[in-house]
Structure 1
Amino acid sequence: MEVSTLKLLKTLVVATALTLAAPFSLAQAAEVKIGYVSVAEILKSAPQAEAASKRLEKEFAPRQRGLVEAQKKLRQSEEKLSKDSAVMGESQRRSLEGDIRNQARELKRTSDEFREDFNMRRNEELGKFQKEVLEVINGVAKEEGFDLIVNDGATLYVSPQVDVTKKVLGRLTSK
């Protein structure tokens, strides 16, 4: 009987403690200030994102033009083969087919390198921009007393009262 009395007493003590602590935790929860930032809107609207895009375009435009020219040359060779193969000699046709295979192989290699280099540079630019955005968000959060800022990654509903996206964009624009 003593064991069950102790268990009952222990349960009553825990229940009483939880009952007494509940109003305090609710009061603390009511004081939490939450904000929201739309990262998608920032990536779309911030001048830094547009500037990074222009830098990438300028840096990679010559290589992209070279790829377009190589594709055009390959297409012309393929058209020549399909159009003239009936009147070509065997060795001439085999030579052109070999050239086409080499051009296609080189184009694929060059395209893969281009894509890899472009993605690497885009990720560098995006990383710099994300760091800058995070600094601005942290600044807004500290200055305005936010306890938590959430983004659009897993947010289902946002009241306009807690949306600080425009403030963040304003600061990014003024930088």
Structure 2
Amino acid sequence: MFRSLIIIVGLLFSFNAMAEKVATLSVQQALLTSKAAGAFREKLKAELSGEQKQLADLEAQAKKIQEAIKKGQGTQSNEVQDQQRVQFQKAFGEYQRLGQELQQKQRQREDEFLKQMQPKLDAVIRSLIDSEGYDMVVNKQATIYVKPELDITARVVELLDKQ
């Protein structure tokens, strides 16, 4: 009985210690839906468009060689088929190399963007916490359920876009 009383009193104290004003925030969503992110995506797309075209051309070239190999099976000499296989391997290898370089360049630029945006995002979140008096802001991805009105992601995006 005494033990039960201690547990109940402990629960009452823990409820009193709980945060009064709570919100959820998806930091990733806030960053990705901001105007700055949209402008960054457009700029990156334009910046990498030449390499994207080159990659598409290499893919088309490799497919064309591969089709020629398939069509020529049984009708072409082994020497011609071997030459085509070498051409295909060369084109496909170049396609893979360029694709990996392009992905790496894109990841690097995205990382730079995120590093650039992090201080702005932190300032917006801190300002919102101070002005709205939040006791706790929880990562939205860490919640199982939350009422939509507790989600401040859209508000963070709005403030981020004003900067």
2:142 to 154, 162, 175: 154
Q: How far did residue 147 of structure 1 move?
A: 2.3
Q: Alignment partner of 2:137: what SS? A: strand
Q: Give unmatched runs, 5+ long, in structure 1.
A: 1-14
2:126 to 138, 142, 147: 138
Tell me the amino acid that sits aligned with residue 146 of structure 1.
Answer: Y
Is 1:83 the counterpart of 2:66? The answer is no
Tell me the amino acid that sits aligned with residue 103 of structure 1.
Answer: A
CA distance in 2 between counterparts of 1:80 and 1:48 reads 46
Cα 1:146–1:103, aligned 2, differ >3 Å: closer, same or farther?
same
Q: TM-score, normalised by structure 2?
A: 0.77
CA distance in 2 between counterparts of 1:137 and 1:36 reads 11
Rg (Cα) greater in structure: 1
Cα 1:32–1:81, aligned 2, differ >3 Å: closer, same or farther?
same
- The number of residues matched between the two structures is 159
Pairing 1:30-41 to 2, within 5 Å after superposition: 32-39=20-27, 41=29
Quick check: 1:136–1:171 contact (8 Å CA) kept in 2? yes
Q: TM-score, normalised by structure 1?
A: 0.73
Deviations 1:75-99 (A, max 9, x none): 1112222223444343333222211
Q: Which residue of 2 aligns with 1:109?
A: 97
Quick check: 1:47–1:173 contact (8 Å CA) kept in 2? yes
Quick check: 2:31–2:157 contact (8 Å CA) kept in 1? no
Q: How far did residue 132 of structure 1 move?
A: 2.4
Q: Which stretches of structure 1, 4 residues or longer, exceed 4 Å deviation after superposition?
A: 21-28
Q: Alignment partner of 1:158: what SS? A: coil
Q: How far did residue 137 of structure 1 move?
A: 0.8
Q: Alignment partner of 1:153: what SS? A: helix
Q: Which residue of 1 aligns with 2:34?
A: 46
Q: Which residue of 1 aligns with 2:113?
A: 125
The alignment-based identity, stated in percent, is: 24
Tell me the amino acid that sits aligned with residue 41 of structure 2.
Answer: S
Q: Which residue of 2 aligns with 1:174?
A: 162
Deviations 1:130-152 (A, max 9, x none): 44222211111122222221121
CA distance in 1 between counterparts of 2:28 and 2:108 reads 21
CA distance in 1 between counterparts of 2:39 and 2:49 reads 15
Moved more, 116-125 or 32-41: 32-41
Tell me the amino acid that sits aligned with residue 151 of structure 1.
Answer: N
